[in-house]
Amino acid sequence: MAKDAKILMTFEVTPTSHLLSEVRQRGGYGALEKALKTMTPEAVGKEVNASGLQGRGGAAFPTGRKWSVIQLDDGQQHHLCANADEGEPGTFKDRWILENAPHQLIESMLIAAYALQVRHAFVYIRGEFDLPYRRLAAALEEAYAAGLAGENILGTGFSCDIVIYRGAGSYVCGEASALLTSIEGKRGYPRNRPPRLTVKGLYQKPTVVNNVETLSNVAWIVNHGAEAFKAIGSPKAPGTRLISISGHIARPGVYEIEIGYPWRRLIYDDCGGMLHGAELKCVIPGGISTKVLTAADIDGLNLYPAEVEAAGSSMGSGGMVAIAEGTCMVRLMQVMLRFYHHESCGQCTPCREGMGWLHRIIDRIVEGKGRMADLGVMERISRLQDGNTICGMGDAAGYAVLGILAKYRHEFEHFITHGRSMCEGNLECRASS
Ligand SMILES: Cc1cc2nc3c(=O)[nH]c(=O)nc-3n(C[C@H](O)[C@H](O)[C@H](O)COP(=O)(O)O)c2cc1C
Ligand code: SF4
């Protein structure tokens, strides 16, 4: 069943919606007070588990299940990290929270810290973020000054410090284990698992890493209860999603939709359709690491994870890119591969070498020196990434390449045969050449 747009975890954005005074007027930090004064840590964990909240960072892992690995009575320090790295191209919804609703994250993190008995929590924020960093830092200062963070919060005896850690611009540092390694002051290399991070994470202590949007749902869940949360979206994927939409779209931006919202309604009604009335060619649904879907693929689909998966892709990080008819998919892949090659951390041979090979091949094709055999080689290299690397970047980059080749192979064949794009002469090609 198609769903309606709802305002759930976000609220009306005003020029002052990031300030504590306005947040308090709207009832902000009421959930923190409720959790600390009327609930046990176990009860908060149970409520989040019962809500069915799933991770919004890309993998949709159940949040309650992740939290439940932490043993509250194990006598160890526990850590909580909000992942605000947001490096996935096309994704800019966490930035939106940090700029417009930083207290939503801080309040939710403090509740999560209470549930997990965390004394020191961290926000790992993308190095390039300037306004989001300043807004978050200022909001945190306000929270400390009001006794909402730090020692003896709201006089309850619970204490938690939140530390903001700025990254240095590496995509791979958004991967949970690389993020922790980076906070420890080392080079941001992803770690092999097991052990899971909830067993041995930051400084070898049990650690929960959650995406900014995931965590920002927690205050709402505590305020309204798990049942109310589950009533939104679908039982298997409850709640809303923040979709950041960009590309050839009339009104790019961040839209909060109830999970299950009709895809075309989002593009054509809410976002005003394609730029300059162009035809939609395809969509990258959830960050460039998710497989491309053609306009025909998404026809009649609702934004339920299961429906997107049945069509052959995933909702990933919620970073949607709408691509107009006439866009050259060969050049689009060239941009993607330049990115992946540059960002590979180099630990795993299939990713380190594979990204370089793929990048060199696509550059050669765009130069007009491609060979038909290149396409098979690209597919083999991409398949070799699958399951053979430490982190998910190798697999994801491989899927993205395979997805484009599967749908638009004819454009690559045309480029190789004629030494130029099928889309030569149209606006997009002239712009990118
Ligand atoms: C290369 C790579 C980059 C990633 N970047 C991010 C990121 O910027 N933000 C994020 O929340 N998750 C990112 N992830 C996913 C994280 O590893 C992790 O699954 C997520 O932060 C867990 O939070 P969640 O369960 O709330 O979704 C990335 C994963 C990979 C493999
Ligand atoms: S898959 Fe790539 S980015 Fe991930 S650890 Fe291996 S080399 Fe590094």
Domains of the chain, first to last = 20-230 (3.40.50.11540), 240-323 (3.10.20.600), 329-432 (1.20.1440.230)
Tell me what the mean pLDDT of segment 48-65 comes to.
97
Q: Which ligand is nearest to the CA of 196?
A: 1
Give the SS3 label for residue 101. Answer: coil
Tell me what the mean pLDDT of segment 45-59 comes to.
97
One-letter amino acid at 145 equals: A
pLDDT of residue 9: 57
List, for residues 273-282, the tens digit of each pLDDT value.
999 999 999 9
Q: How far is CA 130 from CA 11, 13, 266, in A?
A: 22, 19, 29
85 Cβ below 6 A of ligand 1? yes
Tell me what the mean pLDDT of segment 103-130 comes to.
97
Residue whose Cα lies nearest atom 4 of ligand 2: it is 391
Asked whether the predicted pLDDT for residue 431 surpasses 50, the reply is: no
pLDDT of residue 423: 86
345 Cβ below 6 A of ligand 2? yes
Ligand 1 center from residue 349 Cα (angstroms): 22
Is there a contact between 331 and 292 (Cβ–Cβ < 8 Å)? no
Asked whether the predicted pLDDT for residue 427 surpasses 80, the reply is: no
Compute the distance between CA of residue 288 and CA of residue 303 in angstroms, rounded to an integer: 17
Question: Given pLDDT bands bounded at 50, 70 and 90, which one contains residue 429?
Answer: very low
Which ligand 1 atom is at minimum distance from the Cα of 177? 17
How many Cβ atoms from other residues are within 10 Å of residue 185's Cβ?
A: 7
Residues with Cβ within 8 Å of 350's Cβ and at least 6 positions away in sequence, in order, are 384, 385, 388, 389, 394
Structure letter (DSSP) for residue 125? E
204, 58, 84: which is closest to 191 by C-alpha? Answer: 204
List, for residues 139-160, the tens digit of each pLDDT value.
999 999 999 999 999 999 999 9
Tell me what the mean pLDDT of segment 314-325 comes to.
96
87 Cβ below 6 A of ligand 1? yes
177 Cβ below 6 A of ligand 2? no
- Please tell me the least confidently modeled range out of 225-229, 389-393, 429-433: 429-433
391 Cβ below 6 A of ligand 2? yes
373, 412, 378, 424: which is closest to 397 by C-alpha? Answer: 378
pLDDT of residue 2: 42
Q: Which helix (H) or strand (E) holds 233?
A: strand 233-234
Asked whether the predicted pLDDT for residue 183 surpasses 50, the reply is: yes
Is there a contact between 44 and 35 (Cβ–Cβ < 8 Å)? yes
406, 250, 246, 244: which is closest to 329 by C-alpha? Answer: 406
Tell me what the mean pLDDT of segment 116-134 comes to.
97
389 Cβ below 6 A of ligand 2? yes
Tokens of 343: 């960002």
Question: Given pLDDT bands bounded at 50, 70 and 90, which one contains residue 377?
Answer: very high
391 Cβ below 6 A of ligand 1? yes
Compute the distance between CA of residue 8 and CA of residue 242 in angstroms, rounded to an integer: 10
62 Cβ below 6 A of ligand 1? no
Ligand 1 center from residue 232 Cα (angstroms): 24
Asked whether the predicted pLDDT for residue 199 surpasses 80, the reply is: yes
What are the φ and ψ backbone dihedral angles of 354, each rounded to 5 degrees?
-60, -45
Question: Given pLDDT bands bounded at 50, 70 and 90, which one contains residue 425?
Answer: low
Pocket test for ligand 2, best of 345, 352, 355, 388 (most atoms within 8 A of CB): 345
